[in-house]
Structure 1
Amino acid sequence: MSESNEFDVVVVGSGVAGLTAALSAAESGARVAVAERASRAESGGNTRYTEAFLRMKSIDEVSDDFEETLLGDFMGHPDPSLMVESLRDRASWSPPTRTLSVIDPDVVATLAENAGPTLRWIAGHGVRFEALATPFLTTSTTRLMPVGGGLALVEALTAAGEQAGVTFRYETSARALIVEDSQVTGVRTARGDLRGRVVLACGGYEGNPELMARYHGRGGRHTRPVARGGHYNKGEGLLMGLAAGAATAGDFALFHAEPVDPRSGQPEAAIFAFPYGILVNREGRRFTDEAPGPVDAWYERVARRIHAQTDGIAYAIFDAGWADVPNFSAAIRTDQPPIEADDLASLAAKLEVPADALAETVAAYNEACVGGEYRPLEVDGLATRGLTPPKSNWARPIVNAPFRAYPIIASNVFTFGGLKTDDGARVLDVDGDPIPGLYAAGELTGMYYTNYTGSTSVLRGAVFGRIAGRRAAQG
């Protein structure tokens, strides 16, 4: 007997957004199918490989800076007349205001209000949340994480979904939405049609070189997905949504950048220790303030400046003083050894940067270090003087061998541009109206613009996945 392809809800993707959507829909009484490109062993997208930091101060409370930081992201210079209109009753908004590519305060409020209840719901399915150690030696906010990271989320939610009767179709790539009488009624996949209201939760487009070139130009070749799961994110969800007339949100010119060692194939092989040394480019020159503030709040912006250098690469250089930084190794996530030398000329040769330029760079930096109390685990204000660009904290001379370096590129954790959704996870069309039968959650949806609000991506995927599944089940 052939498998039925008729369901109430079809979820595309099995990361945290897709799994919470599927489980929520099933618990609401719907017949649910999940279409997942990967095999079962590699399912879960980016969620499988992340530590899944959550911007919470307890399982029930978001961080004190949660809404302020999200809404404070620079979104360009939107039309003031539309911004004034957005302050009025939502029912009176014109289509340009309904589709304005800015952060929706109602979406942020819904995320904040539902974060705690969503984590409690997930905890009820066997996941524990604790405030565990992070690789950030200096921090600006509070964090929780699931014990066992994102993999624990994938395993627990998949098991709960199976127990609730969800049908999982692995190695099944979605190709197109089925639209009948202006309503989404299913998904065409590589293995046949799946019928039902649709929740798109299949990530961004960081695994698609063509889309990376389309939106990021030549610089798209200088980055890569931060973990294996990102290579499965080919952008079909975005393309399907656009073909159905969806509006967009988020900055399509940017992605969440993380500083990683390009030599490593490890997930998130990050180098978060760079504030304790200097960064030089292929020309052997400094190009940015390495330590403007707590590393958790600034690593993305520094990674973007690395991305803008020749070949999108830079080198973090340390001397023997790294040993004075407590738990320094926790901020080095690569499995590759440092490039080491007993003198700067030898180090330059190994890095293939001009030796004279590196020597001049280090000499100028050392001369600008004025001394003072060094406090590596807090923002210490130990800054250079008379140096451009400056180093605002942890500025100590680089003088003592051995000298060590790590190459760094800006890896692509996820792309910022995506579909525009409302606080009910409904996909909005280019007139600002919900597309009947279509919902979306997770990294596919646009929410970030200039700077990623750290430790909110998994959380928004979980919250709006749960909302999308419930709403789709209700129809």
Structure 2
Amino acid sequence: MPVEHLETDLVVVGCGIAGLSAAVTALQGGLKVIVLERSAEEDFGGNTRWTEAYMRMKNDAEIADDFEEHFALNSGLNLDPNVLARINTGYDDWPAWVKAHPFPDPEVISTFAEKVPATIGWLKAFGLSFGPQPIYLLTQNTHRIAASGGGLALIERLNKEVGVLGGRILYRTTAEDLLRDDSGRIAGVRCTADDGGRIDIRARNTVLASGGFQGNSEMMTRYIGPKASRIRPVARGGYYNKGEGIRMALDAGAAPAGEFGSYHAEPVDPRSLEAEAVVFIYPYGILVNKEGRRFIDEAPGTVDAHYDRIGRSFADQPDGIVYVIFDQSVEDIPRWRTSIRSDVPPLESPTIEGLASQIGIDPETLAETVSGFNAACPEMDDFTPFELDNAATAGLLPNKSHWSRPLTKPPYMAYPIISANCFTFGGLKVNASAQVVDKDGRVMPGLLAAGETVGLYHQVYTGSTSVLRGAVFGRIAGTTAASLP
């Protein structure tokens, strides 16, 4: 089968919020653009298609006060003080090993924060709107707004704009490798079409915006470890994210960034057909594994601040599945049902032993666990479910820090929960202009990246910033491409 050859100014790999933001920005800058999307047209958009697109903002013109602070607090464990000392100088004076370090550069984060309002303004110019939206989290430790119509509204509008501006989207087309010119500059991509034929797309610049690797079991196991077999994407769009953009850039010499051994986790009901079938009621009950034992503090703080870390812990339990056990005292919590998005009802029984039998846990063990928990709960005069109450258990291992109320009001209920992968943390190192840098901190000419393909997060995800990251750095990538020779 002959190789098809195409030429363009910019080729964008990926058709989610990052790729489309890059494509539309570049088209507005006068470039010819081709976008590659491995899915069929009706399924385009990767993770963005399935998200509500929450944004860490006070309103559509102001970011939350803790935006940069949260990134700084979660920039990597045990950072070398020599790195921190060097970043106090200007970026141009950083040594190569600091420019290539996997932590999130302060310049990148400050640029991110600075560009958010203008990026939202740019999206609003297409008729998109943003503001307070219903949220499934019962508590909020920061400000959040969302896009009206969620991520789907964003990508559908930007996809349409690509066509209006004369861009081209190739569906069912997968980028496989980077092309180079005689000087070694990245010069486009080699890809495979739906019929198996090869297409070489030559371009002055290439933007990798093809997501993480949560849909690739081989990369998940390589970086996350054997427990990867117990983790699945949170929504269907994640299965399209197979990591080729990250792999081909790393093979070409790009510096890795972000925490490759981790991911943004959400607790979901594995029985449900719904996308993002989250179960966030567990701070008000107890979590047990298949052995019927508690294994973690269910309520170290509000659920919105801790579900990422707690959700990851589920994958370490036997078979990667746990159960939240709660009773009818849950009715004391206003709107508690909004914290559960599964379309499958909970298991229910008038006795703990009966509930254990339904779950497949030894009834005697679960009864012992619940009895021990109940005995460790404090006396409580007032129950304030949306405020930290320091009503901690005593004498348990582990203790529960807040909202420790005995489970004594039947019927008892349980949801199974697994750790679902919203997106992986590991990706490519970029500078504040979205240019990929190599292992010596040098810009790789012709190569840019945006969205989940960029490694930015460590430890705990800075909530409600992923869609913003895609839009902001997609815009930056498109702008940079339009300015480069």
Report TM bin, short chain: over 0.9
Residue 246 of structure 2: aligned partner: 238
Is 2:471 the partner of 1:469?
no
Residue 288 of structure 1: aligned partner: 296
For 1:47 and 1:83, locate their aligned partners in 2 and report how far apart those are by CA, in whole Å.
34
* Conserved? CA contact 1:131–1:145, under 8 Å: yes
> Alpha-carbon deviation of 1:206?
0.5
Is 2:339 the partner of 1:331?
yes
Q: Where has structure 1 moved over 3 Å in runs of 4 or more?
A: none
For 1:199 and 1:153, locate their aligned partners in 2 and report how far apart those are by CA, in whole Å.
19
* Conserved? CA contact 1:9–1:30, under 8 Å: yes
For 1:382 and 1:474, locate their aligned partners in 2 and report how far apart those are by CA, in whole Å.
57
Residue 418 of structure 2: aligned partner: 409
For 1:35 and 1:52, locate their aligned partners in 2 and report how far apart those are by CA, in whole Å.
22
| Partner deviation per Cα, 1:59-93 (whole Å, 9 max, x = no partner) | 11110111001111051223322332222232222
For 2:336 and 2:86, locate their aligned partners in 1 and report how far apart those are by CA, in whole Å.
50
* Conserved? CA contact 2:437–2:443, under 8 Å: yes
| Partner deviation per Cα, 1:252-288 (whole Å, 9 max, x = no partner) | 1101111001111211000011111110011101111
* Conserved? CA contact 1:5–1:194, under 8 Å: yes
For 1:177 and 1:419, locate their aligned partners in 2 and report how far apart those are by CA, in whole Å.
15
Q: 1:86-101, aligned counterparts within 5 Å?
A: 86-101=87-102
Residue 224 of structure 2: aligned partner: 216
> Alpha-carbon deviation of 1:224?
0.4
| Partner deviation per Cα, 1:105-127 (whole Å, 9 max, x = no partner) | 01110011000110110011121
Point out the more displaced range, 230-239 or 79-88.
Answer: 79-88
Q: Secondary structure at the match of 2:322?
A: strand
Is 2:378 the partner of 1:370?
yes
TM-score when scaled to structure 2? Answer: 0.96
TM-score when scaled to structure 1? Answer: 0.98
For 1:57 and 1:389, locate their aligned partners in 2 and report how far apart those are by CA, in whole Å.
36
> Alpha-carbon deviation of 1:3?
9.3
Is 2:460 the partner of 1:451?
yes
* Conserved? CA contact 1:138–1:379, under 8 Å: no
Is 2:18 the partner of 1:11?
no
For 1:400 and 1:79, locate their aligned partners in 2 and report how far apart those are by CA, in whole Å.
51
Point out the more displaced range, 405-414 or 85-94.
Answer: 85-94
Residue 167 of structure 1: aligned partner: 168
* Conserved? CA contact 2:258–2:458, under 8 Å: yes
Q: 1:8-407, aligned counterparts within 5 Å?
A: 8-180=9-181, 181-191=183-193, 192-196=199-203, 197-372=205-380, 373-407=382-416
* Conserved? CA contact 2:75–2:104, under 8 Å: no
For 2:244 and 2:55, locate their aligned partners in 1 and report how far apart those are by CA, in whole Å.
27
Letter in 1 for 2:82: S
* Conserved? CA contact 1:99–1:432, under 8 Å: yes
For 1:327 and 1:461, locate their aligned partners in 2 and report how far apart those are by CA, in whole Å.
32
Unaligned runs of 5+ in 1: none
For 2:254 and 2:35, locate their aligned partners in 1 and report how far apart those are by CA, in whole Å.
22
For 1:74 and 1:318, locate their aligned partners in 2 and report how far apart those are by CA, in whole Å.
35
| Partner deviation per Cα, 1:216-252 (whole Å, 9 max, x = no partner) | 1211001000000000001000111111110011111
Q: Secondary structure at the match of 1:5?
A: strand
For 2:319 and 2:467, locate their aligned partners in 1 and report how far apart those are by CA, in whole Å.
30
Unaligned runs of 5+ in 2: 194-198
Q: Secondary structure at the match of 1:323?
A: helix
Q: Percent identity?
A: 48
Q: Secondary structure at the match of 1:174?
A: strand
Q: Secondary structure at the match of 2:400?
A: coil
| Residue correspondences, number | 474
> Alpha-carbon deviation of 1:336?
1.1
* Conserved? CA contact 1:11–1:21, under 8 Å: yes
Please provide the CA RMSD for this pair: 1.3
Q: Secondary structure at the match of 2:178?
A: strand
* Conserved? CA contact 1:319–1:400, under 8 Å: yes
* Conserved? CA contact 1:374–1:382, under 8 Å: no
Letter in 2 for 1:185: A
> Alpha-carbon deviation of 1:4?
7.7
| Partner deviation per Cα, 1:421-453 (whole Å, 9 max, x = no partner) | 011000001110110000000001101111101
Residue 427 of structure 1: aligned partner: 436
* Conserved? CA contact 2:266–2:419, under 8 Å: yes
